[in-house]
Amino acid sequence: FVYICQQLIQSMKVQSTTTQQDDHFLIADYDYKSTNIEKNGDKYIAKPQITNFKFKTDTRIPKVGVMLVGWGGNNGTTLTGGILANKFNITWNSRRGTHQPNFYGSLTQSSVIKIGTCNTEEVFVPFKDVLPMVNPCDIVFGGWDISSLNLADAMGRAQVVDYDLQQKLRPYLEKLVPLPSIYYPDFIAANQGDRADNVIPGNNKLEHLNIIRKNIADFKQQNNLDKVILLWTANTERFCVEDPNVHGTAEKLMKSIESSHPEISASTIFACAACLEGCSFINGSPQNTIVPGVIELAEKAGVFVAGDDFKTGQTKFKTCLVEYLVGAGIKPKAIISYNHLGNNDGKNLSQESCFKSKERSKKTCVDDILESNKVLYPTEEELNIDHTIVIKYCPETGDSKKAMDEYIAEIFLGGRQTFAVYNVCEDSLLAAPLIMDLLLLCELFERIQFSKDSSEFQRFDTVLSWLSYLMKAPKSESGITTINALSRQRAMLENLVKVCAGLTVDDNLRLEVRYG
Ligand code: NAD
């Protein structure tokens, strides 16, 4: 069966009158079925409707560069080294034997999508094979860090990757040195000061912006790239004090940068630089980098912004378990989450202002799941469940973050069901493949356009909420509600690529198998 799938992967072609393909574009027609609900007194009137969409995918694969802010950190080094290990098929030994590189933990590279049925057997192919996607091994990496260590030494400092693999990667990584970065000490923990030896001098934020813009332009030109994507995987900053007069529009934001306003964070400067250089920007940390002025800049430049905060271990599980409980008609009443971790991220989060950013993004992740069920939560007051987040820095734990969660739920006749979950999240080993997915999907979505009811083709909204499966506090276009439930987020992504490829969306009725 696996063999058959492999064959199909190589040769999958959609034969349908609703799909057209030439050398450059794949155009798929899709009749989207939805239900319009009207309220009539205390009754809902449901009116099914069909809207025609066309999805046009540019099938030409570009040469892509990625610039990471925080390149010398645990995530930056693990991602770069992990991709190089795959690219050069580097094997290594540990006490458990010889290891082959892989992309486990990557939705695009290691998960599969059902494309249909062959007789009565379901046929699955890798996610990455449904639409033409960039091969992660072809991405050119670059970036900035406030620490000057080359990536080989930075990988040693991170203590994430097995020692033998570190040694084998050294010849590749020691040549990679992060560019000097912008450092605004007020935004990250004071304890980060001792690694900040690679800093662009001065306090002029406009000059900083221009240097970062030049770095991006040079990187693109020197590597002969078709496009560049920027991603923030540097320390969690405190929230900037958002002010419409400072951050509210592109013009006000640029003026605030010109006057070096104290509430312009380093991450916002990077986001602006990305937009002004025509690059999409992804925020992997929880802080409010993507202020309205950044969104307007991105809109004008025709690029995407996405955020906030990678959804890796504990939160991924939370949005899965709570979805299961509420979906089963069981009422979560309390979620108490303890974390302790010993990596540099934990050290930074030990400062209250940075912790507050993380607390916010960890707390909002079940809101929509609870709000959807008015049987369990008929009032606002009941929605206000005990949801407590504790994070402690314990250096000995290193990157093996421990997450201990207690979920207390109300069941039939006033009973209680309690789950105590102990999750050892090898933090950067979970984050690195996820970062890769964010980059690959963002790049793919830059090549997709849609048309509704035969209108002009247009790109997706500037705030790329399609990536919500990968984000702890997914940012959406204004007026669009956020979905946190994990299976809904994944189904959304899967269905989008299927629809763009001209495949049928799966409603799981399996009628062709039951009655085919
Ligand atoms: P890390 O501390 O190891 O790496 C961050 C790097 O950013 C450091 O090398 C630091 O020197 C650098 N840095 C700080 N300020 C900078 C600036 N202004 N410009 C350039 N570089 C700067 O942390 P990490 O474990 O790699 O995590 C990175 C970020 O991702 C953190 O904000 C973390 O909260 C977030 N995150 C991580 C995970 C995960 O599972 N690893 C999940 C969600 C979010």
Closest C-alpha to 391, from 437, 366, 430, 427: 427
Read off the tokens for 264.
């312009």
64: which strand partners?
A: 227
Cβ 145 under 6 angstroms from ligand 1:
yes
Residue 162: other Cβ atoms inside 10 A? 14
Q: Is the pLDDT of residue 352 over 60?
A: yes
Give residues with Cβ within 8 angstroms of 380, minimum separation 6: none
- Of 318, 362, 472, 475, the active-site residue reads 472
User: Is 358 assigned a catalytic role?
Assistant: yes
Work out which ligand 1 atom sits closest to the CA atom of 344.
2
Work out which ligand 1 atom sits closest to the CA atom of 348.
2
Mean pLDDT on 251-280: 98
pLDDT bin (cut points 50, 70, 90) of residue 344 is confident
Separation of first and last alpha carbons in the chain: 20
Residue 76: other Cβ atoms inside 10 A? 30
DSSP strand E in 256-373: where? 280-283, 305-306, 331-341
Q: Is the pLDDT of residue 4 over 70?
A: no
Residue that has been written with the tokens 């920027």 in this structure = 230
* HEC letters along 341-394: ECCHHHHHHCCHHHHHHHHHHHHHHHHHHHHCCCCCCCCHHHHCCEEEEEEEEC
Closest C-alpha to 347, from 397, 308, 313: 397
Closest C-alpha to 80, from 155, 156, 179: 155
User: Is 47 assigned a catalytic role?
Assistant: no
The per-residue pLDDT of the chain, averaged, comes to 93
Tell me: the pLDDT tens digits for 461-471?
999 999 999 99
Cα-to-centroid distance, 346 and ligand 1 (Å):
10
pLDDT bin (cut points 50, 70, 90) of residue 1 is very low
Cα-to-centroid distance, 88 and ligand 1 (Å):
26
Cα-to-centroid distance, 125 and ligand 1 (Å):
34
CA 439 to chain CA mean position, Å: 8
User: Is 309 assigned a catalytic role?
Assistant: yes
pTM, 2 dp: 0.94
Specify the pLDDT at position 99. 97
User: Which residue type is seen at 76?
Assistant: G
Cβ 183 under 6 angstroms from ligand 1:
yes
Cβ 342 under 6 angstroms from ligand 1:
no
Cβ 69 under 6 angstroms from ligand 1:
yes
Read off the tokens for 324.
């299961």
pLDDT more than 90, % of the chain? 79
Please name the helix (run of DSSP H) or strand (run of DSSP E) that holds residue 10, with its range, or none: helix 2-11
Cβ 312 under 6 angstroms from ligand 1:
yes
Specify the pLDDT at position 482. 84
Cα-to-centroid distance, 411 and ligand 1 (Å):
40
Mean pLDDT on 322-347: 92
Tell me: the pLDDT tens digits for 378-411?
999 999 999 998 989 999 988 888 999 999 999 9
User: Is 197 assigned a catalytic role?
Assistant: no
Output the furthest CA–CA distance in the chain (Å, rounded): 72
Contact 432, 82 (CB under 8 A): yes
